[in-house]
Amino acid sequence: MINIIQSWWNKNKAQKLPVPTLSKDNIPRHVAIIMDGNGRWANRRGLPRIVGHQTGMKAVKRAALAADEIGIEYLTMYAFSTENWKRPKDEVDFLMRLPEEFLAMELEELIEKNVRIQMMGHPEELPSHTIAAMEEAMRRTENNTGLVLNFALNYGSRREIKETFKEAAEALASGALTPADITEEWIGEHLYHTALPDPDLLIRTGGELRLSNFMLWQLAYSELWFTDLYWPEFGRDQLAQAVAEYQRRTRRYGGLS
């Protein structure tokens, strides 16, 4: 009972925090989000889990528009992990339809707002309809210069690192590289998404305090911000709170401030 009251209090406290004023000088360039809690949000309401995902899709739009307004340059959303294939087929099928549904509804507005859509992950295992929708969105927004909205789809960080190891091993075996060429920069550039800077801020909703195989290399020095709110409840105010907290922190990268 105490847990239930505590959880209710935490959620309400988080929702009612005043919207902070942000300093324009210290906006995180790249924010990455683990969107967790769709299923529990739906369960709490006696609804099927997929309703949570559907509602979560609306929060994706809110987060993207808010990120753009705040001045964030890159927003990476963890939409489907290499481990999410273990879920029931119906749920996986539903999740695989969401990118095209989202893009059918929102692409025109995102184009108007100069947003560029990107994707990181393994396209080869995704259904053709999912890939077709993503490819069309990437093609139509490739010259946009505003917010980069990067979807992690069929993404797994260990697999990403493993593939980079393989690439290095092949290059070493063929003589294209020497061991001295394998630097941190080389590795960073050979992960899936070389064009993105490392995230400055990681947000995870849903109350769990873990990284779930997400951007393990790239998050080495990111600031972490967790909230008990479920993903469908996330919006501009929570993004602003996370950025405000980021602005209060001192990033030392192992050195002294």
Stretch that binds ligand FPP, among 8-16, 56-64, 110-118, 240-248 (CB under 6 A): 56-64
Q: For residues 19 and 163, what is the distance between their CA atoms, to the nearest angstrom?
A: 42
Query: In this structure, is the dihedral angle defined by the CA atoms of residues 156, 158, 161 and 167, taken in order, positive or negative?
Result: negative
87 vs 190 by CB, closer to ligand FPP: 87
Smallest CA-to-CA distance from 210 within 29, 66, 78, 22 is with 78
Of residues 84, 154, 200, 228, which has the active-site annotation? 84
Q: Is 223 helix (H, G, I), strand (E, B) or coil?
A: strand
231 annotated as belonging to a binding site for a ligand: no
Q: Least distance (Å) from ligand FPP to the CB of residue 177?
A: 36
Among 28, 39, 121, 156, binds ligand FPP (CB under 6 A): 39
Q: For residue 151, which of 77, 215, 218 has the smallest C-alpha distance? A: 77
Q: How far apart are CA 246 and CA 67, in angstroms?
A: 14
Is residue 36 a contact residue for ligand FPP (CB under 6 A)?
yes
Question: Quick check: 38 binds ligand FPP (CB under 6 A)?
Answer: yes
Confirm or reject binding of residue 206 to ligand FPP (CB under 6 A).
Answer: yes
Task: Decide if 36 is catalytic.
Answer: yes
Q: Is 49 marked as binding a ligand? A: yes
Pick one of 28, 33, 37, 120: the residue that binds ligand FPP (CB under 6 A). 37
Per DSSP, the residues of 110-171 read HHHTT-EEEEES-GGGS-HHHHHHHHHHHHHTTT--S-EEEEEEEE-HHHHHHHHHHHHHHH
Shortest spacing between CB 119 and ligand FPP, in angstroms: 10
Do the beta carbons of residue 109 and residue 137 sit within 8 Å? no
Please tell me the distance from the alpha carbon of residue 22 to that of residue 208, in angstroms, as a whole number.
Answer: 26
204 marked among binding-site residues: yes
Please report whether residue 154 would count as binding ligand FPP according to CB under 6 A: no
Whole-number Å distance between alpha carbons of 187 and 122:
18
Q: Is 199 in the site for ligand FPP (CB under 6 A)?
A: no
CB of 37 to ligand FPP, least distance (A): 4
For residues 142 and 33, give the distance between their C-alpha atoms in angstroms, rounded to a whole number.
22
* 102 touches ligand FPP (CB under 6 A): yes
- Using CB atoms, what's the residue nearest to ligand FPP? 39
56 binding ligand FPP? (CB under 6 A): yes
C-alpha separations of 101 from 53, 105, 132, 238 in Å:
12, 6, 12, 25
| 190 appears as a binding residue in the annotation | no
When the beta carbons of 27 and 77 are compared against ligand FPP, the nearer one is: 77
Residue 33 and residue 199: Cα distance in Å, rounded?
10
- Distances in Å between the alpha carbon of 197 and those of 97, 160, 173, 228? 29, 16, 29, 27
Q: Does 231 bind ligand FPP (CB under 6 A)?
A: yes
Interface residue with ligand FPP among 79, 133, 191, 243 (CB under 6 A) is 79
Binding site as annotated, residues for Mg(2+): 36, 223
Sites of contact with ligand FPP (CB under 6 A):
35-40, 53, 56-57, 60, 79, 84, 95, 98-99, 102, 151, 206, 231
**What residues act catalytically?**
36, 84
